[in-house]
Structure 1
């Protein structure tokens, strides 16, 4: 019995040592929307669940929603500096900082955000290695194409003249300025207040976020066309990633793919699109479908943004642009 007990003890010790060697990691993931938002419930939570299951529980993720760890515009630097291990970042909140990435913000390129997410990931991942070199790029998460929502009708570009508009990102802010409007640049969680208190007359947003952020009672008029996208990114602190065991790095890498960008985005895309029908069914909203001539007016008004982007990027801009268009076409997401 003594020998058996001794052998059992040695075996238990060996198992314990093996368990200790199988390092566990707890990651802090920060974002800036409410915890009930589809970004969390349909994107982040399924991604986290898959990551945990694939690692047999060795990777745990604690989610910090609603700007708990920092303001929305700070999330890139929060990933870089390790304030969070993973952040959900909108690069468009920082004008001019990521000029190549800002191509995706120019209207009339992506007409859907499922194929668009996969295309964006494939196109931008190699660019991110230099343009966002102090973080690890993981996923791209564009929303369903957004448009203008306003207190009074906006039908053609001239209607923006004189309005204060909360733009989705820096490129839309530039576009609003070019049309004679005044950009009111606040992150999404502060958008309702800007509309409600009269600071802004209109907003560029995807459809159902008008309801999610409680803006539906303030903006009864909507331009009914797929106009622009804003794409958020999931970014990882490099020290966190480099400090993980190789097998856990491999699991994380498997969750940072173009296919995962599409999968991560699908639920939110569907949810945002549903807001349009909700407005139609309510009888309280007016959706204006522009004519073909009016769509062309909008496209002509936005065209200078492409030339400005190429000038800012400089050498290689045309090749980068062509690569983005080719990726959209490859995934049936070209406007």
Structure 2
């Protein structure tokens, strides 16, 4: 090999070495909403960019949206099994599997999705090893509080009786049953189909998601109150995290904090809140705003859900009252508790 050839080969090798160093790890992130959803465009994509910058370009993350790697309800197991390195999950799609976190699904807890999600993440970090030890819990995420949207008026609990409802999670499904309705539990991407084929005539959803999932023309009556928050989370494959060098593992840990949870949810929350204004301005839609007496009726109707959850905690040897108080205190600490 002559001197020029050797120099060329060395330059190529150095270039290849720099390329390898620049992107040592390519991770997969799976979620089940469309790639145009504000969760991705306003939350996930900036989060990935921040990780890339903090790692000096050594961590890249490929996004697999819209259930490309598996059904919505399977995303926790996908992270556990390494089908995805990072997964966006709705624990309420697997009833009974995460009973402590299910406390956050109870109605009339969340005033917003910003400070509240920060408080939620901080609170659940005390319990994630009990329920999600097969994965690494990164952070909780949620949307601006959602409500009920129907083909006919919904103003008081009695308006649910006799109707079929697509609930947001298992806790809300139980609430529908307590109200005398029938629950049809399908994930958000199947909302439109359930409404259009008559399987459901009411759906629970945050506001903008009615447009995102194509249900806005199917439900024209809306209960105008912060009814519930559908709890979501990022979980990560433990083998992937444990296999990272210490410095890169720290980069990922720095992006799995209560503060990051608030940052990640802020854009999504704003987009959902804007959907409410969009619907309010549309004469084809009717907003039904309950008065104080009617709000009390909804809260009274929901009270048995808390009693059932407390009884479940007692049956498992947990101090449910202390867990619930801890959640409420954490939400209140960041101005995220409903009614405070």
TM-score normalized with structure 2 length: 0.93
Q: 1:163 to 1:25 in 2, by over 3 A?
A: same
Match of residue 317 from structure 1: 320
CA distance in 2, matches of 1:98, 1:276: 31
The Cα of 1:321 is off from its aligned counterpart by: 0.6
Match of residue 207 from structure 1: 207
Q: Which stretch of the first structure deviates more once superposed, 9-18 or 151-160?
A: 9-18
Instruction: Verify the 8 A CA contact 2:23 2:60 in the aligned structure 1.
Output: no
Query: Deviation digits for residues 210-269 of structure 1, max 9, x if unmatched?
Result: 111111111000000001101210110000110111110000011000010000000000
Instruction: Verify the 8 A CA contact 2:21 2:58 in the aligned structure 1.
Output: no
Match of residue 192 from structure 1: 192
1:88-127 equivalences in 2 (<5 Å): 88-127=88-127
Query: Deviation digits for residues 67-96 of structure 1, max 9, x if unmatched?
Result: 000000000000000010000000000001
RMSD: 2.2
The Cα of 1:126 is off from its aligned counterpart by: 2.1
Q: 1:6 to 1:101 in 2, by over 3 A?
A: same
Q: 1:25 to 1:295 in 2, by over 3 A?
A: same
Q: 1:331 to 1:16 in 2, by over 3 A?
A: same
Q: 1:18 to 1:42 in 2, by over 3 A?
A: closer
CA distance in 2, matches of 1:276, 1:19: 46
Match of residue 238 from structure 1: 238
CA distance in 2, matches of 1:17, 1:67: 35
Unmatched 5+ residue regions in structure 2? Answer: none
Q: 1:29 to 1:283 in 2, by over 3 A?
A: same
Q: 1:22 to 1:299 in 2, by over 3 A?
A: same
Q: Does 1:260 align with 2:263?
A: no
Q: Does 1:129 align with 2:132?
A: no
CA distance in 2, matches of 1:36, 1:7: 47
Query: Deviation digits for residues 268-323 of structure 1, max 9, x if unmatched?
Result: 00000011110111111100110100000000000111111111122221111111
Instruction: Verify the 8 A CA contact 2:22 2:56 in the aligned structure 1.
Output: no
Match of residue 249 from structure 1: 249
Equivalent pairs counted in the alignment come to: 333
Instruction: Verify the 8 A CA contact 1:119 1:258 in the aligned structure 2.
Output: yes
CA distance in 2, matches of 1:239, 1:290: 49
1:19-34 equivalences in 2 (<5 Å): 24-34=24-34
Q: Which stretch of the first structure deviates more once superposed, 15-24 or 224-233?
A: 15-24
Match of residue 327 from structure 1: 330
Unmatched 5+ residue regions in structure 1? Answer: none
The Cα of 1:21 is off from its aligned counterpart by: 7.0
CA distance in 1, matches of 2:109, 2:246: 38
Query: Deviation digits for residues 106-155 of structure 1, max 9, x if unmatched?
Result: 00111111011100000001211121100001121111001110000011
CA distance in 2, matches of 1:329, 1:111: 9
Q: Secondary structure at the match of 2:235?
A: strand
Instruction: Verify the 8 A CA contact 1:23 1:245 in the aligned structure 2.
Output: no
The Cα of 1:22 is off from its aligned counterpart by: 7.7
TM-score normalized with structure 1 length: 0.94
Q: 1:218 to 1:101 in 2, by over 3 A?
A: same
